Amino acid sequence: MSIFGRRFIIRLSKMSFVKIMAATPAPRWMVLLADLAIVALSCILTFTLNNHIQGDGPLYSLFFKSIIIVLVYLLFSVVFKSFQYIVRLSVIEDIYRIVLLVISSFIFLTIFALAFEIFGGQRYYSIWNLFIIGVFSFSLMMCMRLVVKYLYALINGATVVRKPVIVLGSAINSFVLASALKNEVDGQFDPVALLSLADKKIDTTVNGIPIVKFTPNSISEIFERYKCNTLLFLSTQIELMRSDFADVFLKNNIKLIMLNQVEEFDAESGLMPNLSTHVRDIKIEDLLGRETIKNNNPLIEQLIREQVVLITGAAGSIGSEIVRQVALFNAKEVILVDQAETPMHELQLELEEHFPDMKVKLFIGDITNYSRMDNIFKQHRPRYVFHAAAYKHVPMMENNPSEAIYTNVFGTKNIADLSVKYDVDKFVMISTDKAVNPTNVMGASKRIAEIYVQSLFFHQKKTRDGQCTRFITTRFGNVLGSNGSVIPRFRQQIEEGGPVTVTHRDIIRYFMTIPEACQLVLEAGCMGRGGEIYIFDMGKPIKIYDLASRMISLAGLIPNKDIQIIETGLRPGEKLYEELLNDKELTLATTHQKIMIAKVRTYEYNEIQSHLINLELMLKCDNLHDIVAEMKCIVPEYISQNSKWQDIDAELKIEK
C-alpha cells in the first residue's frame, strides 16, 4: 500500500464512528440483505447479458424471474444460516455454508425449471443462466467478505500495538482462534504462526499465518525466527500441557498463556467478545490438575437431598469447598461450624450471593467446647456430618503437641460422640496421608483420631441393636492452593523477587485440587457402610524442587538465574516421602476407580479409651514429653524425624 493510502487508513481509523463500527459486528439482517442484494445483482447481470445476446423476454418478465430466485436464496439462507457468522471472522465454516446455499438454491431452481417446462409446456429458466447466477452470487459474496475482512484488518492494525504469539496446533479451532485474535478490535495479541503437532511436514500458510512443524529441538529457533517468546493455546489442550510437554517450552524460556473459554468466540452466538480478556497466564495449578472426576451425582443427591448436613471447619479450604458442593444437592439445611470469625463472615457473604435460597446456619465455635457443640447438635439434629476441622501445619503442631491433641483428637472425639448421641446417620472424617507411618505430632494426632472413630463404630455394632452411626474416614495428600500451602508461599516469594525456599532438593509430595478432593470425599461418604478408611488416587508424586522451578519459569523468569532456589533443610517432623498406606496395609477396590479402601489394624474401643484418659490427664498437667510419649504408645509406627521428640523414641526402645 502507498504512503498516502496508509495515512488515509490511519486517519480513518481515528474517527470515532469507524471505531464503533469496528467494535460492533454488523446486524445479521444487514448481512442477509447484502447477500440478497448480491443475488439480485447476479440476476440482473446474467439476464441483461443473456437478453442482449439472445433476447430473453421483456424486462417485467425478467423482474419476476429475479424475485423468485431471490426468494429461493432467502429460503436457503435461513436454512443454512449463511448470514449468521461475523463477517470479519468468516473462515472455512462460512465458505462451507455459502457453498451449501448456492448449490441447494441451484438444485431447487433447476427442479422448478424442469417441472415448469414439463407441465407448463414452456421453458421458464435456462439452467445455464441459473448456473451463472450461482457462480456470480458465490463469487460476489466471498469478495464482499474478503473486502470487509481486509479493511477491518487495516483499520485495526493501524491503531494497536500487539504482542506477537505463536498459537499451538493447526486444527480448525486453533486456526479460528488465530484468525479471531488477528481481527480483534483493540486486540492485545498478534498470531505470527501456528505450531503444528502433526507428524507430516507442513509448509503452508492459512489466512496469512504460516504453519510451522513442532520438534523439541527446533523450539528455540522457531520462536527466535518469529521474534516471539509466547505460546498461546486453547483450554481444550490443557491435558497435553499437563504432561512433560509444557516443560519443553518452559526450558526454552517460552511464556505459556491460555484462552480460558473456547466457546466465547463461537461465531454462531452472534456476539463479538474481546478474546484478549479471556487469555490468561498459566498457573501451576493448571499443569498439576487432572481430568475432571465423574461422580455418581444422582446417588450423592439422593443421600443429601432434604437432609440436615453439619460441616465442621467450614471456613477452611476443604470445609468451604464441601459446603459449596453440598449446596448443589438441595440439602434441607446446612449447619456450618468454625472458630475463625473473618473467614466465616466471608463464606456467609459468598453463600448469600451464590446460594440465596439455601437454608444456612453459621456457628462460631470451637469443636473442643463440648457443651457448645452439644447445643448445636441438639438444636438441629444433623443427619450427616462432614468433619474437616483440624490443625494441619506440621512445624506448628510439632511445637504445640497439646493443641494438636485438644483439637485433632478430643475435638474429633466430641463430634463423634455427639453424632452417636443424636443418631447421626453418617460421620465422614477428613484425614491426611501424614497419618500413615507418622513422623510428626500432627500426623500422629490424625492417626489417633482415625483409630477412635473406627473403634467407636465397631463398638456400636457390638453393643447397640438396630442402626448405628456409620463412621467413615478419608485420607488424601496436599491440596493445591489450600491456606498456608507451598504453592501460595512460592508464588509470594516469586512476586517479591526471591529467593524461593525448599526444605530439601529431593522432597516429594502428592497433590490434588480442592474440588477434586472434596468430590471424592462426598463419593466416599456416599458409598461407605461404616468403619472404612478410604484413600484416594493421588496420581504421581511431585518433586517440590521441580515445582518451584516450574513456577519460576511460568512467571517468565529463569530458575537460579533471575530467582534463586535455596534449600533450608527439613523442618521438625517433616519427611521426604509421604505415604498413603502403611507397609502392612492392603487396599480393596471400590466401584470408583479413584477410591480404594485401606485395610488397617483395628483397635478395641476400651483400649483406645484408656489411652485417651491418660492423654487427658497429661493435658491437664501440660506435660508435653509425656503427651508425645503416650501418642507413640498408641501409634507404635510413629517415629519422630528431625524433631526434638526423637529422644522419646530412644527411651521407649530401651523400655522395650
Give CA–CA dist 71/588, Å, rounded. Answer: 69
pLDDT at 460 over 50: yes
Given a contact cutoff of 8 angstroms between Cβ atoms, the answer to whether 451 and 531 are in contact is: no
556 lies in some domain = no
Which range (178-182, 387-391, 644-648) has the least confidence? 178-182
Residues 6+ apart with CB under 8 A from 438: 444, 446, 447, 635, 637, 638
552 lies in some domain = no
Q: For residue 9, what pLDDT band results from cuts at 50, 70 and 90? A: very low
Mean pLDDT confidence for 316-333: 90
- The sign of the torsion formed by the CA atoms of 509, 396, 479, 636 equals positive
The verdict on 336 and 275 lying in the same domain is no
Give CA–CA dist 468/547, Å, rounded. Answer: 45
Provide the mean pLDDT of the chain: 81
Phi, psi of 279 (to 5 degrees): -95, 130
490 lies in some domain = no
pLDDT in tens, 364-389: 999 999 999 999 999 999 999 999 99
**pLDDT for position 90:** 52
pLDDT at 292 over 50: yes
Looking at mean pLDDT, say which of 119-133, 175-189, 261-275 comes out highest: 119-133
Single pTM value for the model: 0.69
629 lies in some domain = yes
The verdict on 256 and 168 lying in the same domain is yes
Give all strands of the β-sheet with 470-475 in edge-to-edge order. 360-364, 333-338, 308-312, 384-387, 426-430, 470-475, 533-536, 595-599, 586-589
| 3-state SS assignment for residue 376 | helix
Q: Which stretches does DSSP call E strand in 519-610?
A: 533-536, 542-543, 565-567, 586-589, 595-599
**pLDDT for position 99:** 85
The verdict on 366 and 226 lying in the same domain is no
Cα angle 119-120-125, degrees, rounded to a multiple of 5: 110
364 lies in some domain = yes
The verdict on 30 and 136 lying in the same domain is yes
The verdict on 196 and 139 lying in the same domain is no
The verdict on 372 and 263 lying in the same domain is no
- The 3-state DSSP composition of the chain as helix, strand, coil percent (nearest 5) reads 55, 15, 30
Strand partners, 596: 535, 589
The owner of cell 443475488 is 39
**pLDDT for position 186:** 63
Which range (87-91, 169-173, 291-295) has the least confidence? 87-91
Which range (117-131, 318-332, 336-350, 593-607) has the least confidence? 117-131
Given a contact cutoff of 8 angstroms between Cβ atoms, the answer to whether 580 and 436 are in contact is: yes
Residue 390 carries which side chain, given as an amino acid letter? Answer: A
Q: For residue 428, what pLDDT band results from cuts at 50, 70 and 90? A: very high
Give CA–CA dist 405/391, Å, rounded. Answer: 9
The owner of cell 505463536 is 166
Mean pLDDT confidence for 20-35: 66
Residue 557 carries which side chain, given as an amino acid letter? Answer: L
Residue 508 carries which side chain, given as an amino acid letter? Answer: I
Answer with the one of 282, 313, 328 that is the final residue of a domain: 282
The verdict on 320 and 420 lying in the same domain is yes
User: N- to C-terminal Cα distance for the chain?
Assistant: 93
| Residue 129, all three cell numbers | 443462466
CA 255 to chain centre: 20
Alpha helices in 589-643 (DSSP H): 605-621, 624-634
CA 97 to chain centre: 34
DSSP 8-state class, residue 408: I
Count the domains in the chain.
Answer: 3
Q: For residue 478, what pLDDT band results from cuts at 50, 70 and 90? A: confident
pLDDT in tens, 398-413: 999 999 999 999 999 9
- The H or E element spanning position 597 is strand 595-599
DSSP 8-state class, residue 305: B
The verdict on 131 and 18 lying in the same domain is yes
pLDDT at 14 over 50: no
Angle between helices 441-463 and 624-634 (to 10 degrees): 50
The verdict on 331 and 472 lying in the same domain is yes
DSSP 8-state class, residue 577: B
Q: For residue 272, what pLDDT band results from cuts at 50, 70 and 90? A: very low
DSSP 8-state class, residue 125: S
**pLDDT for position 1:** 47
Of the two residues 171 and 105, the one the predictor is more confident about is 105
The owner of cell 489394624 is 601
Q: How many CB atoms lie within 10 A of CB 580?
A: 20
Q: Which of 606, 598, 603, 599 is nearest to 635 (CA)?
A: 603
495 lies in some domain = no
Q: Is 81 a catalytic residue?
A: no
pLDDT at 55 over 50: no
Looking at mean pLDDT, say which of 62-66, 167-171, 542-546 comes out highest: 542-546
**pLDDT for position 577:** 76
Strand partners, 589: 596
**pLDDT for position 262:** 45
Looking at mean pLDDT, say which of 120-129, 410-419, 456-465, 530-539 comes out highest: 410-419
Given a contact cutoff of 8 angstroms between Cβ atoms, the answer to whether 479 and 317 are in contact is: yes
Mean pLDDT confidence for 221-231: 88
- The H or E element spanning position 536 is strand 533-536
The verdict on 267 and 381 lying in the same domain is no
Report the helix count and the strand count for the chain, using DSSP H and E.
25, 22
The verdict on 460 and 583 lying in the same domain is yes
Looking at mean pLDDT, say which of 134-138, 341-345, 601-605 comes out highest: 341-345
Residue 112 carries which side chain, given as an amino acid letter? Answer: F
Q: For residue 640, what pLDDT band results from cuts at 50, 70 and 90? A: very high
| Residue 368, all three cell numbers | 473442643
145 lies in some domain = yes
pLDDT at 282 over 70: yes
Full residue range of the structural domain in which residue 25 is found: 3-153
Which range (200-214, 232-246, 336-350, 535-549) has the least confidence? 200-214
CA 71 to chain centre: 48
pLDDT at 183 over 70: no
Give CA–CA dist 134/102, Å, rounded. Answer: 6
Mean pLDDT confidence for 127-152: 81
**pLDDT for position 365:** 94
pLDDT at 442 over 90: yes
pLDDT at 330 over 80: yes
271 lies in some domain = yes
Mean pLDDT confidence for 516-526: 87
**pLDDT for position 58:** 53
pLDDT at 270 over 60: no
Answer with the one of 125, 153, 181 that is the final residue of a domain: 153
What's the CATH code of the domain at 210? 3.40.50.720
Which range (25-29, 290-294, 587-591) has the least confidence? 290-294
Mean pLDDT confidence for 406-424: 96
Question: From the candidates 255, 426, 434, 575, which is the catalytic residue?
Answer: 434
Given a contact cutoff of 8 angstroms between Cβ atoms, the answer to whether 430 and 521 are in contact is: yes
Q: For residue 295, what pLDDT band results from cuts at 50, 70 and 90? A: low
Give CA–CA dist 439/395, Å, rounded. Answer: 11
The verdict on 196 and 94 lying in the same domain is no
Residues 6+ apart with CB under 8 A from 205: 211
Answer with the one of 232, 248, 282 that is the final residue of a domain: 282
Mean pLDDT confidence for 585-596: 79
